[in-house]
Chains A and B, each alone.
Chain A
Amino acid sequence: MRVSFNVNGEDVTADNVWPGESLLYVLRERLGLPGSKNACEQGECGSCTVYFDGVTACSCMIAAGQAEGRRVRTVEGLAKEPGKGGDRSLSDVQEAFVEMGAVQCGFCTPGLLVQTDDLLERTVGAGKKAPADAEIREALAGNLCRCTGYEKIIDAVHLAAERRAEAGSAS
């Protein structure tokens, strides 16, 4: 089966796709985008989180064929969105994770970055208040991290929210 869709602003086609395989498999093994991580394959861990038509989802639970004609944005595309990082090498969320020490082994990081980006889009990015701890914890409840204990991650989300709010009010 052939599947064509848009990833991080680029139209792509994958050939010889087995109809039962996941979007995650297509991204990693057929399109050379290994940023989204394969850990649980059952939606428990959130490491494979991507934007799918603008909404975050576990790419391990999307059948490859369901992606036909859709828009996908992976962690590789976070820093590329025009106006939100320009040609910087890291997005605001990525920078905040590095600065706050929110990355240890790094396996859960891509999923947390995408899910955090979405939380900020829906809050400060939409002119609303920066998310409080409870809102952050709820938004990230489907992303498991076995290293950090989450505190540094939450610090990083606060920092990124603050900066995105500032960037939004300055522009």
Chain B
Amino acid sequence: MEFLRPSTLVEALEARSAHPDGVPIMGGTDVMVELNFDKRRPSALIDLTRVPELTEWGGEGDHIRLGAGVPYTKIIENLSANAPALAKASRTVASPQIRNRGTVGGNLGGASPAGEAHPPLLATDAEIELASVRGRRRVRARDFYLSLRTTALREDELITAILLPRPTGPQQFAKIGTRNAMVIAVTSFSLALDTENRKVGTGVGSAGPTPLRAEAAEEFLEAEFDWENGRPLQETVVRRFGELVAAAARPIDDQRGSSEYRKHALSVMARRALSWSVTDYRKGSTRCA
């Protein structure tokens, strides 16, 4: 096994191109488990921790650009206002030690349907920047997840950044597990209200072969939500929203939960996330006025 230590993005992309069966490593919180347990013996490890661009973040037009290698702790500390849903999801990742190392890029590269970052990226309509020696391209998170653990990432590409639209309304994240820490989500849900475009975004985790959206629920809420004043929604509307989110899920029965439980939990989390969002929305409109 080779250990490659590129110190610039150009070098990293060249290494990736030269070693298609090599494995990029950043925080190591997934990759090292596979190595420690003899599940994987790649020809090379491509250490990305010395590529400065990957650990930077900042504004870029109407987006926040988040380097793919920024650890969750930094997201929580620095992006709670600019990326509320992702920051909330980051708080629920594993433990402090793991949050100090784990990254959104790693979450995307592993593409587990349970990854905490996915529902917020779907709900906020984030874009993922992929780069190779051939150049850079952007893929919407909504087009990134193709099938179980398969994504739009090509063999010679690295995930370099995530582009998050600046928030224009409430964003929420909720997750169900047996503990508050060190837990793989039984299921998770994210909701984002885009008040400028009057759009609703959703993201559902651990309830299908890929992270997914509840599109019927989004359309329903776009029509029902009081975008002018954020008046509290009727109970029947909130309930229907929960049902539509649950109906979009395609969960399996496994050791973490049954399909029925996951659907039920999703409908409850969706209703809660909506109620929190209405409360936030009203606070927000009071401030504006």
Contact = CB atoms under 8 A, between A and B. Distances in A.
Interface of A: 1, 18-20, 22, 41-44, 46, 49, 55-58, 60-66, 68, 115, 118, 138-139, 141-143
A128 B28 CA distance: 32
A171 to B, nearest CB: 27
A69 to B, nearest CB: 9
Given A63-B3, A142-B182, A56 B35 contact: no
Contacts of A65: 3, 5, 45, 47
B98 interface: yes
A166 B104 CA distance: 40
B97 A66 contact: no
Interface residues of B, number: 30
Contacts of B180: 138, 141
Given A141-B95, A142-B96, A142-B97, A1 B36 contact: no
B102 to A, nearest CB: 9
Contact of B181 (A20, A41, A58, A141): A141
B37 A58 contact: no
Interface of B: 1-3, 5, 25, 27-29, 31-33, 35-37, 41, 45, 47, 49, 73, 94-98, 100-101, 179-182
Contacts, number: 93
B97 A57 contact: yes
Given A43-B33, A57-B101, A68-B5, A63 B28 contact: yes
A161 to B, nearest CB: 16
Given A41-B33, A42-B37, A43-B95, 11 more contacts: A42-B33, A46-B95, A56-B100, A57-B100, A58-B101, A65-B45, A66-B25, A66-B28, A68-B5, A138-B96, A141-B179
B91 to A, nearest CB: 9
A61 B32 contact: yes
Contact of B97 (A18, A42, A43): A43
Contacts of A49: 97
Nearest to A50: B97
Given A63-B3, A142-B181, A22 B45 contact: no
Contacts of B25: 63, 66
Contacts of A18: 1
A142 B32 contact: no
A110 B209 CA distance: 39
Which 3 residue pairs across A and B have the least CB separation, nearest first?
A142-B95, A141-B181, A19-B3
Contacts of B181: 138, 141-142
B98 A1 contact: no
B94 to A, nearest CB: 7
A61 B95 contact: no
Nearest to A18: B1
